[in-house]
Structure 1
Amino acid sequence: MRDILELRWEAGNIIDKKVHEVGVIALGSFLENHGSALPIDTDVKIASYISLMVSLITGAKFLGIVLPSTEYSYVKHGIHNKPEEIVDYLRYILSWSRKLGIKKVLIVNCHGGNILISKYLGDLEKEFNLKIVMKNITFIHAGTEEVSVGSVIGIAREDKIEDHHPSKYPEIGMVGLKEARENNKLIDRDAKIVEKYGVKIDRKLGEEILNRAIKECVECIRELIG
């Protein structure tokens, strides 16, 4: 009979050995336009950055990235999937997570359209006997906040910011997405902000946003193990 390996649960930089029961998942979007200064997978890169940093700070397990994403039908700036496809992908991750001893999960979501999966999380909790929390960290699409965060983590092309304007790229602030603006008051509000103030890179702002997001997610982990 094989000997049972004794794992060193208290080793390394962890906030509490109970953190081994907590997993962190990054959720974003891989295929949507973000003007000239940001890549098409901006949302998932920001979500991954925050998720990994939170995992490093707390010792929670980084469980990876969800590949599909979803969007409201009236927002047409990329290629997305059905909410049910995200749920199916999460089901695969959560199934394996349980085998790792995970009992609680933090989903760090940086794509607004993915909020549509919120109504399915309760069913997943029951199916896998898990506690699931989704933290939504979203910005005006390709606006000042997002390009500033992108600059800090190294995904923004600062030499392209002069060309980064909604007159050329209608998805910036969703200014040129008429159907989206007509169907969603919040999108229209954000578009008006971009129309009035434009878009610029502010690294100090980007650092503040990132630090706040990471801090809030770390607090979510503390609450989950508390």
Structure 2
Amino acid sequence: MLKVEVGVLALGSHQERHGAALPLDTDARIAEYIAREAVKRTGVNFLGVLQSSYELPCIKTGKHQSLGELAEELKDVIRDAKSEGIEGIVLVNAHGGNEKLEERLTEIENKLKVNLIFNSTICKIEGPHSGTGEVSIGAVLGFADKSRLKEHTSFERYPEVGFVGFEELRERYPWAEKHAREVLDRGIEVDESLGRGLLNEAIADVVNDTQRLSGQDDLR
């Protein structure tokens, strides 16, 4: 089987509100950590963190870019990576809005002759925005401010937490209503055991994608 030179690229968001207990670049930090840990375990190439991010309509949590800008930055990184002999890239995403980028991946693959895998596992398993899962991950990685956890659930001041204060968003997206109800019903706590478990699951999935991609023999 032909071996493929593989890279791992992190996608997050850099200027997105995450309540009182988490920083604006929470998603980027989580994505970078997962990507770097996968690289350590597989020996592939770390390609950095994209600076652009996309957000869905009605989600007004900070500064994001258009989907087109995100795609163009990704293409630039791919071109640079290909010049270094990389033919496959695992995209490690920790920001839900970026999942819209998946719709453009086939076009990008065909145009740039590269193999891409989009891994958004952490988004799927961590639960509500700025909720227990994300706060617990932040605690494990050392950037959550646990002293502000009570303030974190002041939803009038921090409506983005669980999207509790975004009524239009909750009406538009059933998943947002589900997340808001979870936060309202269960509250938010720091559980470092949970945080480590979520990170380990996400890292293992990225490692699997990396190994699968590096062993492909059906290159474009």
* Identical positions, percent: 38
State the distance in 2 between where 1:93 and 1:18 align: 21
State the distance in 1 between where 2:42 and 2:14 align: 27
Scaled by the length of structure 2, the TM-score of the pair is: 0.92
Q: Counterpart of 1:179?
A: 168
Q: Counterpart of 1:143?
A: 131
Q: Counterpart of 1:61?
A: 45
Equivalent residues in 2 for 1:12-27 (5 A)? 18=3, 21-27=5-11
Cα RMSD between the aligned structures? 1.2
Bigger relative CO (Cα 8 Å, ≥ 6 apart): 2
SS at structure 2 position matched to 1:73: coil
State the distance in 2 between where 1:103 and 1:51 align: 17
Equivalent residues in 2 for 1:164-203 (5 A)? 164-165=152-153, 166-203=155-192
Q: Counterpart of 1:118?
A: 102
Equivalent residues in 2 for 1:34-45 (5 A)? 34-45=18-29
Structure 2 gaps, min length 5: 216-220
The one-character-per-residue Cα deviations of 1:16-59 (angstroms, maximum 9, x if unpaired) are x946x101000000011101100011000000000011111101
Larger deviation, residues 154-163 vs 39-48: 154-163
Aligned 8 A contact 1:25 1:62 in 2: yes
SS at structure 2 position matched to 1:169: coil
1:76 equivalent to 2:60? Answer: yes
Given residue 36 of structure 1, which amino acid in structure 2 is its aligned partner? Answer: A
Deviation at 1:202, TM superposition (A): 0.3
The one-character-per-residue Cα deviations of 1:158-200 (angstroms, maximum 9, x if unpaired) are 1111211024311100000112111100011011000100111
Q: Counterpart of 1:217?
A: 206
SS at structure 1 position matched to 2:68: helix
Structure 1 gaps, min length 5: 1-16
Equivalent residues in 2 for 1:81-96 (5 A)? 81-96=65-80
Q: Counterpart of 1:47?
A: 31
Scaled by the length of structure 1, the TM-score of the pair is: 0.90
State the distance in 2 between where 1:195 and 1:92 align: 42
Aligned 8 A contact 1:175 1:191 in 2: yes
State the distance in 1 between where 2:27 and 2:6 align: 23
Aligned 8 A contact 1:75 1:179 in 2: no
1:153 equivalent to 2:137? Answer: no
State the distance in 2 between where 1:225 and 1:62 align: 14
Given residue 214 of structure 1, which amino acid in structure 2 is its aligned partner? Answer: I
Q: How many residues were matched structurally?
A: 209
SS at structure 1 position matched to 2:103: helix
